[in-house]
Amino acid sequence: MCAVKARIAKTASGIGISVTAHRFMPSGPLTGRIRVPGDKSISHRSLMFGALAVGKTTIRGLLEGEDVLATGRALAQMGAKISKEADGSYSVNGVGVGTLLQPQGALDMGNSGTSTRLLMGLLASHAITAAFTGDASLSKRPMSRVIDPLSLMGAAFTPSPGGTLPLVMEGIQPGVPITYRLPVASAQVKSAILLAALNTPGTTTVIEPVPTRDHTERMLHGFGVDVQVDVIDGERHISITGPADLTPCDIEVPGDPSSAAFFAVAASIVPDSDLVIENVGLNPTRDGIFRVLKQMGASIQYLEEREVGGEPVADLRVRHAPLQGIEVDPEIAPSMIDEFPVLFVAASMATGATVTSGLEELRVKESDRLSAMASALTQAGAKINERADGLLIHGSGGKPLAGGGPVTTHLDHRIAMSMAVAGLASKAGVEVDSTEPIATSFPNFSDLLDEAAS
């Protein structure tokens, strides 16, 4: 492997033609200390709950990616006052549950599925008509899984064919309380229903056969909402009795474990790496990637374990270690569903085969992430067998991948970042067709790569 500083090299397709393809080159050891941006899931919810609380909510560590900013712009259209302070924190002066204003224009969600589905839930129990639009990638993603339960609560939807954006939603006030068992594990669907419940008289209950990330429950409790969580016959029953009032509070957003995962994998597969990733959220519904990497033999230590804003947090020390292929338990998928693309990169460098299954959800993300990663890693020299619900990855035994490209990202930020990590552990680097989607979730990704490898 070339012992050179990690860098991004632009490629040119012709004189005077602007291109966005980039090649991520082989890297020397990743060392030192870095801090990844704030958790995206918590950032979205911080803005939404702040908008529903009467008074001032202060948010520190907010992720300033395009997805979160789309949430902020939409809330501002409905009356919330959101401003960035001199110290980098954000202030949200909310309008209260039930008093959001009718937006004057369409709500542009950009590429953010989280913004779309959660805001649909938030508005479902308000007497508001809203048009939701998004970019080409978001407009292909299914919204029926949210439309179905919110329709039971009384909201009406006119989506595009196939249940996609653009769509028009007519909220209803008061809404109808429901009891809804999730047909597929989805924190977004659960959260949409709970948000609608805040302004719905009576008790609304969501039943989770498989636990999903619980930021909504934790944070609503922090805003003063009585969220009841019971385990009955192995299933979680989450209930809210509305209408509920939210009390403004101060929020410290921990580092995003999904963002930290890229650096944890990079440090694991690049020889001689010894990297500390500071302030990483380790919510047990979100830390599956680190548990699986440890099962594969990764050297990951939790330092200074603590609690911040009701969320478990630690600094992660990750050192290079030989990885072993494993069969990944499909039950762990909900706690790391967004991290599978970079896990596939780690598996491609392991000794032996890694088997993943139960991942049909990955086919309806920003892209078909199973097909996209199978194709991209194959182009980079890995041996991959694509299956209906997962990938079978034959590891290189720690040897660098050949590299190559350009691989197609399908405008999916996690494909782009995962293949960037693959480039660090390759012979010739990996070229991706565009790094622009990375701004949606991790604006300073490339700068941190350079910092860690310098």
At 62, give phi and psi (nearest 5°).
-60, 135
Distance CA 34, CA 43 (A): 20
Q: Chain-wide mean pLDDT for the chain?
A: 93
- Residue 18 pLDDT: 34
**Per-residue model confidence as pLDDT tens digits over 368-427:** 999 999 999 999 999 999 999 999 999 999 999 999 999 999 989 999 999 999 999 999
188 has binding-site annotation = yes
Element (H, E) at 205: strand 202-208
pLDDT band at 440 (very low <50, low <70, confident <90, very high): confident
Distance CA 387, CA 52 (A): 44
Distance CA 134, CA 118 (A): 14
Does 39 qualify as catalytic in the annotation? no
Give alpha helix (H) positions in 78-179.
Answer: 113-124, 144-152
412 has binding-site annotation = no
**Where do the domains of the chain lie, and which CATH numbers do they carry?**
8-38+254-453 (3.65.10.10), 40-252 (3.65.10.10)
- Residue 4 pLDDT: 31
For the purposes of burial, counting CB atoms within 10 Å of the CB of 278, is it exposed (0-12), middle (13-18) or buried (19 or more)?
Answer: middle
429 has binding-site annotation = no
Residue count of the chain, please give it: 454
Tell me the mean pLDDT in the region 10-22.
46
Question: Which of the following is catalytic: 39, 108, 338, 412?
Answer: 338
186 has binding-site annotation = yes
325 has binding-site annotation = no
pLDDT band at 437 (very low <50, low <70, confident <90, very high): confident
Which two three-digit tokens encode residue 384?
A: 């991959």
Element (H, E) at 336: none
Close Cβ partners of 241 (under 8 Å, ≥ 6 residues apart): 202, 203, 204, 226
41 has binding-site annotation = yes
Nearest to 52 by CA among 251, 245, 250, 227: 245
Close Cβ partners of 233 (under 8 Å, ≥ 6 residues apart): none
**Per-residue model confidence as pLDDT tens digits over 71-90:** 999 999 999 999 999 999 99
Which two three-digit tokens encode residue 322?
A: 């030989």
Which two three-digit tokens encode residue 147?
A: 């439309």
Which two three-digit tokens encode residue 135?
A: 């970019």
Nearest to 271 by CA among 315, 208, 320, 339: 320
Sheet with 81-84, strands from edge to edge, namely: 81-84, 90-94, 55-60, 250-252
Close Cβ partners of 268 (under 8 Å, ≥ 6 residues apart): 293, 298, 299, 300, 318, 319, 320, 321, 323, 346
363 has binding-site annotation = no
**Per-residue model confidence as pLDDT tens digits over 274-322:** 999 999 999 999 999 999 999 999 999 999 999 877 789 999 999 999 9
Nearest to 8 by CA among 443, 401, 413, 431: 431
Distance CA 160, CA 144 (A): 11
141 has binding-site annotation = yes
Distance CA 258, CA 191 (A): 19
Q: Does the pLDDT value for residue 429 go beyond 90?
A: yes
Q: Does the pLDDT value for residue 327 go beyond 70?
A: yes
Distance CA 258, CA 349 (A): 20
Which two three-digit tokens encode residue 274?
A: 């010894």
173 has binding-site annotation = no
DSSP 351-409: BSEEE--S-GGGGGSSS-HHHHHHHHHHHTT-EEEEETTEEEEE--TTPPB--EEEEP-
Q: Does the pLDDT value for residue 106 go beyond 80?
A: yes
40 has binding-site annotation = yes
**Per-residue model confidence as pLDDT tens digits over 24-40:** 999 899 999 999 999 99
Distance CA 357, CA 82 (A): 42
Nearest to 223 by CA among 77, 81, 74, 58: 58
For residue 438, the 8-state DSSP code is G
226 has binding-site annotation = no
Nearest to 218 by CA among 196, 251, 244: 251
Distance CA 124, CA 446 (A): 38
For residue 138, the 8-state DSSP code is G
